[in-house]
Amino acid sequence: MSKRLPEKRLRIRRMDGIDKGNCKMNSETYKYLQISGRIEIVVAGKKKLELNAIASSEVPENEVWANPDEMKMVGLADNSIATVRAIIK
């Protein structure tokens, strides 16, 4: 049986200055979720987004910052609560 990686419910925020395909998250949350590069963001089990995660101490612990245009294309509103987990390769 495979070991499941931890997941956490976090607030997804639109932030200018984040490149498409990337996101920023708190360093401690990054370690807790055992992220090795890419994450999956799932809102209500329907809207999914895969991004490269970058650890940053400037991001609040319960937030993920993403590119506003990319979030709009997927249909994610600012301040959405989503399940965030590492992508298993």
Which domains occur in the chain, in start order? 10-86 (2.40.40.20)
Residue 36 DSSP SS3: coil
Strands 47-56 and 80-86, how do they pair?
unpaired
pTM of the model: 0.88
Express each pLDDT in 2-34 by its tens digit.
Answer: 567 789 999 999 999 999 999 999 999 999 999
- In whole angstroms, give the CA distance from residue 22 to residue 66: 7
Extract the tokens encoding 31.
């370690």
Closest CA to 75 of 39, 38, 49: 49
Express each pLDDT in 31-75 by its tens digit.
Answer: 999 998 899 999 988 888 899 999 999 999 999 999 999 999 988
Residues 6+ apart with CB under 8 A from 33: 5, 6, 7, 8, 39, 84, 85, 86
